Amino acid sequence: MRITESKKITDFFGCNVFNDGVMQKYMPRETYNELKEVTDLGKPLNKELANKVAKAMKEWAGDMGATHYTHWFQPLTGTTAEKHDSFISIDKSGNTVLEFTGSNLRKGEADASSFPSGGIRATFEARGYTVWDCSSPAFIKKSRNGAGILCIPTAFCSYTGEALDKKTPLLRSMEAINREGVRLLKILGVDAERVTANVGGEQEYFLIDKRDYNRRDDLKFTGRTLFGAMPPKGQEKNDQYYATIKDRVSDFMAELNEELWKLGITAKTQHNEVAPAQHELAPIFCTANIATDQNQLIMETLKKVADNHGLTCLLHEKPFAGVNGSGKHNNWSIATDTGVNLLTPGETPHENAQFLLFLVAVIQAVDDYQDLLRLSVATAGNDHRLGANEAPPAVVSMFLGDELTAVLDAIEKDEPYSGVEKTVMKLGVHTLPRFIRDTTDRNRTSPFAFTGNKFEFRMLGSSDSIACANIMINAAVAESLRQYADKLEGAENFEGTLHDLIRSTVKEHKRILFNGNGYDDEWLKEAESRGLLNLRTTPDALPAMLEKKNVDMLMRHRVYSRAEIQARYEIILENYCKTVNIEALTMVDMARKEILPAVAAYEKDLADTLEAKLKMLPELTGRYERRTIAKLSGLVDEIDAAAEELDSATIRLKTINDVAEASYYIRDVILHKMAELRVVCDEAEMLTAEKYWPFPTYEKLLFGVR
Ligand code: ADP
Ligand code: MG
């Protein structure tokens, strides 16, 4: 079905989702109400209810043409996993029947032996469990021929109950912020049953021609180009940003939106991004859990739909050197079940005190746990972006805008706020100036920016799950809220305590606030003098995961167990090492099997030409051929030597058993040797006639989609 031919968006939006409307249609009212209490209020799910829900789901899935179901989960590989079971079963009399029970829905057993577990799951205990997450709706994935798979979002854990996925700790962190948020609100006299973290994730990506992609081993094996000289034109004219979208890309986007809408994903904004061939998509925000599931589906759908259009979608953080890489902006806020966004400045002095309290809670969280936020976005791919004058730097800081900063300043100093009207900001007495509500001031260089009623965390890489960042934000903010609740609970002079709390928090944590240009080198110096961390690479950032203050906080809020923290630390570093090792091996391979033979062939052709020319006209100098052959011969030797060095380094890497040691070796040796090999290869590319070059160049990749 094409939109243009028929229906309105609203007619098919969410048609592949087991959503509210579907539930009401397929379930008796009492069952529906019971389930709502489970999904919305977190009440436990009993067996009987699970059976009733499963029955409705089976019926709906059957009507939708689904033949299989799967427990859809997010292992620590960073992608999603699914194993399909058909609804077919044989009953006692030997008849083929369709079956899907409450226990099929609730729990699945998965052979976990090949998923990363960081040593949690010993290989002799291969069993892992998937458990239904009823707070994220089930959906049906359709293949092109219409076959459907019912996907049930699930958490994935080991036989002994440790989380082996990204969803479980995310749900636990949401529970932590709910627990502490509700507690604090009660103390403030606000009646709320639940506090929920909401997230809107903006997704950047590149689109290139599939034929070009298929001709490059680096893209196929590593998702990024490991070689490639810059063409004469890159992004310097900023003529791609928000530019008219080419027809072929428009067609792709139309199908993409349609597929996402069917999955109930509110694809909202789309535009061309800064780099040639780069684009962005953003849905409307929803709960952090659903937003994370949806972001995984968005990435999957981007790739699938691109393929239908003869395109390949690159989600890597830095597919091309010399132009911008891709990230994700994680827009985050917290709201109550009564619909109040706790990060919206209010109308009354009382609401403002509440707003300021939650605001400083985030400020404190970001300052106290800058290391956790930084490492939550640490990957080999993202290391190429952070701090490279295109993404926020590796230093975590916060942007509040001038007005809000001035308000906090006035509170800290008990001085008159010198905004539009001069008032001493006494909490519980004065309202905030209205203009703070629409902070239009945008600072694109800040890693963590307040944008009116939400915070935008901009350090995430484009291919990463957004779960990791949100786990850390939620946990860190829950910790501030816990501390505040402890202090305010039973305080004799409530107003005074509240005022002092906000004041002292501002005083203690204002070093994290920075409204200036985050790309500026001066800032890095200043950040250092403020005592902020500058964790440049993944190996630099990861050790903080094991620091006592971080382990204590994460365990206190039951987000991770000690074993889970250790496991994740190892998996992230291991993944870093594997990623770069594959890149290094791919480079050696491409240099030896493709680049050197190509350049040699060109040299030979030049030499043959020269010989023929001199035979015919002996008085010629042959300057062009001689010089080019000489330069290329020099480069060929350098390429050969650099490939040899890199090759030896990868052999040495194999002998390092400690994962942290290995990651340092990669950071200090392998990455440099890769850069050295690339430089000489790119130089050779500039001197070699195009038809000899063994794979598509940047020019084709970046400007080839027509
Ligand atoms: P941009 O930052 O590109 O200007 P927008 O301000 O429109 O974009 O919003 C970007 C994302 O932030 C969208 O996904 C949007 O739904 C989301 N968003 C808006 N309000 C909130 C909120 N209160 N909490 C979380 N996300 C939000
Ligand atoms: Mg944004």
- State the average pLDDT over residues 387-403: 87
- Note the Cα 450 to chain centre separation in Å: 19
Q: Which of 203, 331, 460 to mutate to test the pocket of ligand 1 (most atoms within 8 A of CB)?
A: 331
- State the average pLDDT over residues 199-204: 98
Q: Which of 268, 284, 285, 334 to mutate to test the pocket of ligand 1 (most atoms within 8 A of CB)?
A: 285
List the one residue out of 421, 437, 209 whose CA is nearest residue 307: 209
Strands 148-158 and 66-72 come out as parallel
**Is the C-beta atom of 204 inside 6 A of ligand 1?**
no
DSSP class of residue 45 equals P
Reply yes or no on whether the pLDDT at 432 is more than 90.
no
* Helix boundaries (H) for 557-670: 562-590, 596-616, 623-654, 659-665
Ligand nearest to the CA of 273: 1
Reply yes or no on whether the pLDDT at 429 is more than 70.
no
CA of 379 from ligand 2 middle (Å) equals 22
Do 86 and 66 meet the contact criterion of CB atoms below 8 Å apart?
Answer: no
Reply yes or no on whether the pLDDT at 406 is more than 90.
no
Protein residue with least CA distance to atom 14, ligand 1: 200
Confidence of residue 2 (pLDDT cuts 50, 70, 90): low
**Is the C-beta atom of 285 inside 6 A of ligand 1?**
yes
CA of 43 from ligand 2 middle (Å) equals 34
3-state secondary structure (DSSP) of residue 165: strand
**Is the C-beta atom of 534 inside 6 A of ligand 1?**
no
| pLDDT value of residue 112 | 74
Protein residue with least CA distance to atom 3, ligand 1: 202
Do 590 and 218 meet the contact criterion of CB atoms below 8 Å apart?
Answer: yes
CA of 326 from ligand 2 middle (Å) equals 13
Tokens of 555: 């365990």
CA of 510 from ligand 2 middle (Å) equals 24
> How many residues are given for the chain?
706
Neighbours of 706 (CB within 10 A): 8
Kindly give, in sequence order, each residue whose CB lies less than 8 Å from that of residue 509, ignoring residues fewer than 6 positions away. Answer: 360, 363, 364, 367, 368
Q: What angle do CA 79, 81, 83 make, to 5 degrees?
A: 165
**Is the C-beta atom of 439 inside 6 A of ligand 1?**
no
Ligand nearest to the CA of 329: 2
**Is the C-beta atom of 200 inside 6 A of ligand 1?**
yes
| pLDDT value of residue 477 | 98
Neighbours of 86 (CB within 10 A): 12
Alpha carbon distance 506, 413 (integer Å): 10
| pLDDT value of residue 253 | 96
List the one residue out of 81, 108, 104, 102 whose CA is nearest residue 35: 102
Alpha carbon distance 42, 430 (integer Å): 37
**Is the C-beta atom of 454 inside 6 A of ligand 1?**
yes
Share of the chain above pLDDT 90, in %: 78
Kind and range of the H or E run holding 371: helix 370-376
Confidence of residue 1 (pLDDT cuts 50, 70, 90): very low
pTM here is: 0.95
| pLDDT value of residue 402 | 84
CA of 203 from ligand 2 middle (Å) equals 10
- State the average pLDDT over residues 99-104: 94
Strands 107-111 and 127-132 come out as antiparallel
Which of the residue ranges 22-31, 74-83, 345-354, 381-390 would you say has the lowest mean pLDDT? 345-354
Reply yes or no on whether the pLDDT at 387 is more than 60.
yes
Do 34 and 49 meet the contact criterion of CB atoms below 8 Å apart?
Answer: yes
Read off the amino acid at residue 474: N
In order of 118, 163, 475, 560, 569, the CA distances from 112 in angstroms are 12, 12, 27, 19, 19
Residue 98 φ/ψ, nearest 5 degrees: -100, 130
DSSP class of residue 434 equals G
Reply yes or no on whether the pLDDT at 53 is more than 60.
yes
- State the average pLDDT over residues 396-419: 85
CA of 546 from ligand 1 middle (Å) equals 33
**Mean pLDDT across the chain, nearest whole number?**
92
CA of 631 from ligand 1 middle (Å) equals 53
- State the average pLDDT over residues 205-215: 98
**Is the C-beta atom of 333 inside 6 A of ligand 1?**
yes
Atom of ligand 1 nearest to the CA of 284: 16
